[in-house]
Amino acid sequence: MRKKICDKFNIIKNVSFKTLSSIKTGGRARYLAFPNNEEDLVTLITYLKSHHKKYYVLGNGTNTLAPDGMYRGVIIKLTELNTVIVNENKIYAEAGASLNRVIGLALANGLAGLEEGSGIPASIGGGIIMNCGAYNFEMSKVLNKVRLLRDGRVIELDKSECGFGYRTSTFKEDDVILGGEFILKKEDEEKLRERQKAVLEKRKNFPCLPSLGSVFKRKEGLIVSKMLDEMGFKGFCCGGAKVSEQHAGIIVNYQDAKSKDVLKLINIIKNRVKNEKNIILEEEIKILSK
Question: Catalytic: 284?
Answer: yes
Nearest 5°: phi and psi at 93?
-130, 130
Question: Catalytic: 272?
Answer: no
Alpha-carbon distances of 211 from 56, 63, 162, 244, rounded to whole Å: 20, 9, 28, 9
For residue 159, the 8-state DSSP code is G
How far apart are alpha carbons 250 and 234 in whole angstroms?
9
CA torsion 212-216-218-223 (nearest 10°) is -90
Per the residue annotation, which of 38, 115, 181, 284 is the catalytic one? Answer: 284
DSSP H or E run through 157: strand 153-158
How far apart are alpha carbons 187 and 109 in whole angstroms?
9
Per the residue annotation, which of 214, 225, 244, 259 is the catalytic one? Answer: 214
How far apart are alpha carbons 82 and 102 in whole angstroms?
10
Which residues are CB-neighbours of 154 under 8 A, at least 6 positions away? 38, 42, 147, 148, 178
87: which strand partners? 90
How far apart are alpha carbons 32 and 13 in whole angstroms?
6
How far apart are alpha carbons 35 and 17 in whole angstroms?
18
User: Where are the strands (E) in 64-105, listed by range?
Assistant: 64-65, 70-77, 84-87, 90-94
Contact 269, 281 (CB under 8 A): yes
User: Helices 189-202 and 99-108 sit at what angle, rounded to 10 degrees?
Assistant: 150
Question: Catalytic: 289?
Answer: no
Per the residue annotation, which of 167, 169, 181, 259 is the catalytic one? Answer: 167
Which residues carry out catalysis?
A: 167, 214, 284
